[in-house]
């Protein structure tokens, strides 16, 4: 229904704002809900940053803007704790695990999607079943394995359980299945070997899935707590979540220090998200195929 704005006799459409922009009741509800969700998500973050800028005596005041803003906490954690090292540990392990997951999961996913071989479905189902086992149940076997192989208290010990994931294989297989076979056949006729077809042709076509997998894997490992806590007791090998948790003692918790560390900890996740999210949104897969 369109109402001429300057028609004097026409009754005013209640859903057309004075500016002429049409608003629907559904949109109003949607925006309200989204805003409430956004605020609910933002509040803890805002408090995190605010607390990190406060002195200890002000921590339990609920004011958002600190009375005496200070960077003391940041300086303290870098000067007097091994925070910098934990940051590096987290960065190294998360990055390595992410690269490994991207490489192996997409290779396995591609093979399961594009090659027909005996037992293919069984392999896929077996990989899927690993998704249904909670981490807590796996921790004991991981620990026994790491202990027997002498991997405790090492980067490798922190990383090995995550180097390949069932979820990543599942995600990549689904995306590779969506690539028309003609792309692969054309490359085969053009003389590429199977590995190069995967790398040069298939991988760029699933860029959105790779971006999603990058974000999930990096964030998952960056925030991982339980396994890194179990796998390490050398403070120099702590990852950041484990290190931050060590600020919380039995009788006293240094909230302002934890919040300063947590604020820094969110920065890489923000960077990863901002860099890769646009690849998720840009779905370019089918532009070269007319179907």
Partner 1 sequence: MAELSLRDVVKRYGDIDIVHGISLDIADGEFVVIVGPSGCGKSTTLRMIAGLESLSGGTISIGGRVVNTLEPKERNIAMVFQNYALYPHMTVFRNIAFGLYAARLPKAEIELRVRKAATLLGLTDLLDRRPSALSGGQRQRVAMGRAIVRDPTVFLFDEPLSNLDAQLRGQMRTEIKRLHHTIRTTIVYVTHDQVEAMTLADRIVIMRDGRIEQMGHPLDVFHHPASTFVAGFIGTPKMNLVEVGVQADAADARLDLGGGAALGLPQGAARIGGRSRIILGIRPDDLQIRPVGQAGAGDGVRHLSGEVVLSEPLGSTTQVISRIGGSEWIGMSDGHFIPTPGSRITMIPDARRLHLFDIATGKAIADGGTEVGTHLG
List residues binding partner 1 (CB under 8 A): 180, 182-183, 185-192, 196, 201, 204-205, 207, 284-291
Q: What is the Cα 219 distance to its own chain's centre?
A: 3
**CB-based burial, 55-75: b 16+ in 10 Å, e otherwise:** eeebbeeeeeebeeeeebbbe
Residue 76 CA to residue 247 CA, distance in Å, equals 12
Least separation, in Å, of the C-beta of 276 and partner 1?
Answer: 16
Least separation, in Å, of the C-beta of 193 and partner 1?
Answer: 8
Residue 33 or 284 with smaller CB distance to partner 1: 284
Least separation, in Å, of the C-beta of 114 and partner 1?
Answer: 13
Residue 133 or 286 with smaller CB distance to partner 1: 286
- In order of 13, 24, 26, 268, the CA distances from 1 in angstroms are 9, 12, 16, 48
Residue 198 CA to residue 194 CA, distance in Å, equals 6
Q: Which residue has the tokens 């899935």?
A: 209
Residue 45 or 289 with smaller CB distance to partner 1: 289
Residue 267 or 284 with smaller CB distance to partner 1: 284
Least separation, in Å, of the C-beta of 94 and partner 1?
Answer: 27
Angle at 76 between CA 72 and CA 82, to 5 degrees: 155
Q: Which residues contact 110 (CB under 8 A, 6 or more apart)?
A: 172, 173, 176, 198, 202
Residue 72 or 194 with smaller CB distance to partner 1: 194
Q: Which SS3 state, helix, strand or coil, does residue 21 take? A: coil
Residue 102 or 184 with smaller CB distance to partner 1: 184
Q: Which SS3 state, helix, strand or coil, does residue 248 take? A: strand
Residue 41 CA to residue 266 CA, distance in Å, equals 14
Contact (Cβ atoms closer than 8 angstroms) between residue 169 and residue 101: no
Residue 97 or 206 with smaller CB distance to partner 1: 206
Least separation, in Å, of the C-beta of 212 and partner 1?
Answer: 17
Contact (Cβ atoms closer than 8 angstroms) between residue 272 and residue 90: no
């Amino acid at each position: 229904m369109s109402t001429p704005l300057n028609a004097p006799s026409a009754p005013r459409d209640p859903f057309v704002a004075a500016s002429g922009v049409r608003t629907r009741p559904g949109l109003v509800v949607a925006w309200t809900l989204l805003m409430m969700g956004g605020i609910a998500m933002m509040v803890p973050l805002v408090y995190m940053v605010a607390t990190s800028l406060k002195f200890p005596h002000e921590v339990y005041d609920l004011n958002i803007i600190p009375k005496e803003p200070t960077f003391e906490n940041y300086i303290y954690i870098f000067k007097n704790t091994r925070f910098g090292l934990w940051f590096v540990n987290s960065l190294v392990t998360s990055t390595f695990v992410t690269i490994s997951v991207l490489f192996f999961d997409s290779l396995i996913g591609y093979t399961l999607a594009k090659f027909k071989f005996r037992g293919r479905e069984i392999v896929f189902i077996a990989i899927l079943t690993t998704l249904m086992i909670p981490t807590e149940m796996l921790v004991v076997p991981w620990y026994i394995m790491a202990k027997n192989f002498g991997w405790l208290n090492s980067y490798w010990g922190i990383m090995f359980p995550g180097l390949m994931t069932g979820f990543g294989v599942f995600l990549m297989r689904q995306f590779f299945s969506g690539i028309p076979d003609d792309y692969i056949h054309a490359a085969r006729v053009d003389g590429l070997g199977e590995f190069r077809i995967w790398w040069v042709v298939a991988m760029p076509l699933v860029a959105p899935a790779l971006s999603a997998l990058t974000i999930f894997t990096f964030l998952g490992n960056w925030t991982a707590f339980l396994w890194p806590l179990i796998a390490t007791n050398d403070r120099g090998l702590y990852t950041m979540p484990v290190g931050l948790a060590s600020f919380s003692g039995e009788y006293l918790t240094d909230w302002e220090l934890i919040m300063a560390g947590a604020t820094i900890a969110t920065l890489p996740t923000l960077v990863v998200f901002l860099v890769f999210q646009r690849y998720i949104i840009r779905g370019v897969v089918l532009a070269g195929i007319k179907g």
